[in-house]
Amino acid sequence: MEKGIAEMNAERFGLGVVVGKFLPPHRGHRFVIERALSQCDRVVVIVCGKPDDPIPPELRVAWLREMLPEAEIMLIDDRYDEHDTAVWAANTVGWLGRAPDVVFTSEDYGERYAAMMGAHHVMVDRARARVPCSATAVRSDPFVMWDFLDPPLREWFAKRIVIVGAESTGTTTLATDLAGALRTNWVSEYGREYSSIKQGQGEAAWNSAEFMDIAREQTRREDAAAREANRFLICDTNAFATVQWHRRYMGSPMPHLEKFAAACRADLYVLTGDEIPFVQDGLRDGEHLRHVMHCWFEKALAAQGVPWFLVRGGREFRVLQVLAQIRERWPQVYPESDNRKSGIGSACVKPKNSRPPL
């Protein structure tokens, strides 16, 4: 039986242990570990990992260390029979160098596991009443469980919609409109910011190293923004586009940049059409190069593996085209019109079974 909060808070222990796969670590896990930290002088979290886990064990360890820096995080090779409590108890004593004073779990195995080490057992939220979340549910549908994910997990699970295109084809307008429609954030084009500073300093010549720097900074900003995203992150260009601009300005490929771009995350590319009027803002090369660049983007997108499609038409029609693709690819998120706001739409999460929408 789970102990009352007042009774638990009255007990203090030396060494506490929490063990699990943490695949992935969510706020239910955080609740258990924080309970352990509140009652123990030292807490060791044992992460059980396998090389073929859908999320690398080393990454889960890094997430837990960021989420709970006060705890000690230990990674072990998960090659033991999960039903052999005696083996797990003996190994735990070996890994820790001594028997723990207390084990914190939210599972029924905890009582027997702790008893075999002569330790106390504290059951925490067995019914998932305080934090209605499980790792299985997160893996099954992270969008529905989004409110139970800490920032590093949101960075991992957020879907990245990347808008690319030649100059003056409406990439920034589409990115901002989509972010509004989906109630999420967006990442602006760092290369444009860099070019503006460069032009202001009177520098006209480019070198390949600058494009590598732009790609790295763009990606760093994307990763940071994904931590605050609402399920989707809208990116106004990414390192893939930087490869095309390197070709434009340097006239040759850069294998190191191409390799970096290929490793960057994108879940859907949207190519903006070049049929709209060209607007010169003082930074752009000129309309005579726009269609050539558009064709380069088309060819490069066709040669890579991430899904992509072309949008044309007016501002609102372009947004609706992208929302239709999102609805098709991620049906648990669907747009609903909201004429009181932008007239474009808003994104909602479909409730599943009896769970309320998040």
Structural contact between residues 34 and 61, judged by C-beta atoms closer than 8 angstroms: no
CATH entry, 5-140, from 3.30.565.10, 2.102.10.10, 3.40.50.2300, 3.40.50.620: 3.40.50.620
Structural contact between residues 126 and 107, judged by C-beta atoms closer than 8 angstroms: yes
Instruction: Using CA atoms of 109, 28, 4, 73 in order, give the dihedral in degrees to the nearest 10.
Output: 70
Given this model, what pLDDT does residue 340 score? 36
State the Cα–Cα distance between residues 68 and 26, nearest whole angstrom. Answer: 12
For the stretch 340-344, contacts whose Cβ atoms lie closer than 8 Å and that sit 24 or more positions apart, written own/partner, are 341/180, 342/177, 342/180, 342/181, 343/316, 344/177, 344/180, 344/181, 344/316, 344/319, 344/320
| C-alpha to C-alpha distances, 324 to 94, 272, 316, 317, 330, nearest whole angstrom | 55, 16, 12, 11, 10
- The two tokens of residue 340 are 């009181």
* Among the listed residues 52, 59, 83, 55, the one whose alpha carbon sits nearest the alpha carbon of residue 73: 59
* Among the listed residues 39, 20, 45, the one whose alpha carbon sits nearest the alpha carbon of residue 96: 45
Given this model, what pLDDT does residue 128 score? 93
State the Cα–Cα distance between residues 213 and 170, nearest whole angstrom. Answer: 25
Half-sphere exposure for 291 (CA within 13 Å, toward CB) = 4
Q: What is the pLDDT of residues 156-214, one digit of tens each?
A: 999 999 999 999 899 999 999 999 999 999 999 999 899 889 888 888 889 999 999 99
**158-349 in CATH: which number?**
3.40.50.300
Q: Taking the complete model, does pTM exceed 0.85, yes or no?
A: yes
Given this model, what pLDDT does residue 178 score? 98
State the Cα–Cα distance between residues 88 and 335, nearest whole angstrom. Answer: 48
> Is there a common fold for 5-140 and 158-349?
yes
- Cis check: omega of the bond before 24, within 30 degrees of 0: yes
Give residue limits of the domains in the chain: 5-140, 158-349
Residues of the chain with pLDDT under 50: 1-8, 335-348, 350-358
Q: Tell me the three-class secondary structure of 265-280, residue by residue.
A: CCCEEEEECCCCCCCC
Question: Nearest 5°: phi and psi at 24?
Answer: -100, 170
- Outline where DSSP puts E strands in the chain: 13-20, 40-49, 72-77, 102-105, 120-123, 159-164, 186-187, 232-236, 268-272, 308-311, 333-336, 346-349
- Outline where DSSP puts E strands in 86-182: 102-105, 120-123, 159-164
